[in-house]
Amino acid sequence: MSTSQPNHPNAGRRMLLGGSAAALSALGLASFTRGAQAQTAVATAAAKPLPSYAAWKDANALIVHTSNTIETRRSAFGASVITPSPQLYVRNNLPPVDAAVLQDRDAWVLEIEGVKKPRSLTLGELKTLGLDTVATVLQCSGNGRGFFPSKPSGTPWQVGAAGCVLWAGVPLRNVVAALGGLADGARFVTGTGGEKIPEGVDPASVIVERSVPIKALDDALLAWEMNGEPLSLAHGAPLRLVLPGYQGVNNIKYVKRVAFTSSESKAKIMAHGYRMTPPGEKSSPEQASVWEMGVKSWINGPLPEDGTLQAGLVQIHGVAFGGTRAVKGVEVSTDGGKTWKAARLVGPDLGRFAWRQFVVSATLGSGTHALMSRATDVAGNTQPEQREENSQGYNNNSWRDHGVTVTVA
């Protein structure tokens, strides 16, 4: 394998822009340290440049909240199922690993613990153990936080901290089998990110380490490829733990350790972060963690930003997914949820972890129309009308919050 693969086909274009990219990079890196204050100021801020590690992305398709929180515009999802990498959202809790690791991807080392024969394996060795490819919805658990009237702290994502992408890699269960099977007492899959921990801070307070129930092992993948290209630094190069159906934060980028543990990680991001904390209470490990995604859908067109529509026929379309379960159907309302019409699922079915595109033909007369969509999964779970209130604004799958109002002449 080549030792100097570019991060992305657009890397060449980025080099042509060398001078300004360097300036942007300085800005981008500076804003990494601004943290929470920077995130809450975004609503009013002017368009920000893409940070250098994501400079190859399509700025027109994205809303840059900060250099580590970038979301896809609702109007940019299109109807072709897969989200192109240049349009996919980015969320980093720490700056990405050094780009130097891309010079020899196969030399990346992963530690495996909690198996009968624990050891470390290079990415080159992992590639000999199996190959599979899966389409999954990658979604930040805070997607839809922007619709909470309580304005929780954190990025006010609307619908765009999500995408549907293809991963290729080795099934994690192949690796477990090659190392003699699970050790006794393994109850969680714990993945650890390989980012450099800033000097002078307690590693447990910032390390990206998440635990999920051991049943996630059935579908887990150690992926080195996304959408047909070597993983980019923005999305976890050279190796990522992909947990289909689980909220974004559990899908550990730059994964350096996978441990099958008897208890959940004590890292702050696990013990206190990403908990369904009742409003006004303190987060604690007893509260539910953001694990499997709930059934959810939203409309991507027509949108208010399309301006005033002509009266007559419109194609109301959007995306729907069920986390670890396939979507059975989607209904659409043009009257704010009073009456519903079954939508047609369109495009290829890329499996239960992917989203489905849906469409309904409707004739809209002049006036305003509140368009809503409501998905149901194969187990019969229907997207709820109301969000589950929680202090950090996680897991918003309220159909009412995700509706759009369009105006017809």
Ligand X SMILES: Nc1nc2c(c(=O)[nH]1)N[C@H]1C(S)=C(S)[C@@H](COP(=O)(O)O)O[C@H]1N2
138 binds ligand X (CB under 6 A): yes
Q: Which is nearer to ligand X, 164 or 178 (CB)?
A: 164
Residue 239 CB, nearest approach to ligand X (Å): 10
Residue 177 CB, nearest approach to ligand X (Å): 25
Nearest Cα to 171, choosing from 225, 129, 228?
A: 129
92 binds, among Mo ion, ligand X, none (CB under 5 to 8 A by kind): ligand X
* Length of the chain, in residues: 409
Per-residue x/- marks for Mo ion, 63-92, CB under 5 A? ----------------------------x-
144 binds Mo ion (CB under 5 A): no
57 binds ligand X (CB under 6 A): no
Residue 281 CB, nearest approach to ligand X (Å): 22
Query: Which residue's Cβ lies closest to Mo ion?
Result: 140
Nearest Cα to 64, choosing from 171, 192, 161?
A: 161
The CA distance from 253 to 46, in Å, is 29
Contact yes or no for 326/352 (Cβ under 8 A): yes
Helix, strand or coil, per DSSP, at residue 269: helix
Q: Which is nearer to Mo ion, 92 or 333 (CB)?
A: 92
92 binds ligand X (CB under 6 A): yes
As a dihedral over the C-alpha atoms of residue 292, residue 82, residue 227, residue 69, rounded to 10 degrees, the angle is -60
Residue 372 CB, nearest approach to ligand X (Å): 25
402 binds, among ligand X, Mo ion, none (CB under 5 to 8 A by kind): none
Residue 43 CB, nearest approach to ligand X (Å): 20
251 binds, among ligand X, Mo ion, none (CB under 5 to 8 A by kind): ligand X
Footprint on residues 113-142 left by Mo ion (CB under 5 A): 140
The CA distance from 328 to 380, in Å, is 8
89 binds ligand X (CB under 6 A): yes
Helix, strand or coil, per DSSP, at residue 239: coil
Q: Which stretch binds Mo ion (CB under 5 A): 65-73, 243-251, 279-287, 382-390?
A: 243-251
List the one residue from 21, 24, 55, 94 that touches ligand X (CB under 6 A): 94
The CA distance from 356 to 348, in Å, is 8
The CA distance from 67 to 92, in Å, is 9
193 binds ligand X (CB under 6 A): yes
- CA 390, 395, 399, 404 dihedral sign is positive
Residue 247 CB, nearest approach to Mo ion (Å): 7
- Pair of tokens at residue 293: 């995604």
Contact yes or no for 63/73 (Cβ under 8 A): yes
Query: DSSP 3-state helix, strand, coil percentages of the chain (rounded to 5)?
Result: 20, 30, 50
Residue 158 CB, nearest approach to ligand X (Å): 14
Contact yes or no for 145/152 (Cβ under 8 A): yes
235 binds ligand X (CB under 6 A): yes
List the one residue from 251, 261, 324, 357 that touches ligand X (CB under 6 A): 251
List the one residue from 249, 327, 359, 371 that touches Mo ion (CB under 5 A): 249
Q: Which is nearer to Mo ion, 140 or 186 (CB)?
A: 140
Q: Which amino acid is at 391?
A: S
Residue 91 CB, nearest approach to Mo ion (Å): 5
Q: Which stretch binds ligand X (CB under 6 A): 8-16, 57-65, 79-87, 248-256?
A: 248-256
| Residue 167 phi, psi dihedral angles, 5° rounding | -120, 145
Strand duo 404-408 + 367-377: pairing? antiparallel
133 binds ligand X (CB under 6 A): no
140 binds ligand X (CB under 6 A): yes
Strand partners, 91: 69
39 binds ligand X (CB under 6 A): no
| Cβ-based neighbour number of residue 271 at 10 Å | 17
- Pair of tokens at residue 105: 């991807």
208 binds ligand X (CB under 6 A): yes
352 binds Mo ion (CB under 5 A): no
| Cβ-based neighbour number of residue 155 at 10 Å | 26
Interface residues with Mo ion (CB under 5 A) are 91, 140, 248-249
Give the interface with ligand X as residue ranges (CB under 6 A): 88-94, 138, 140, 193, 195, 208, 235-236, 248-249, 251-254
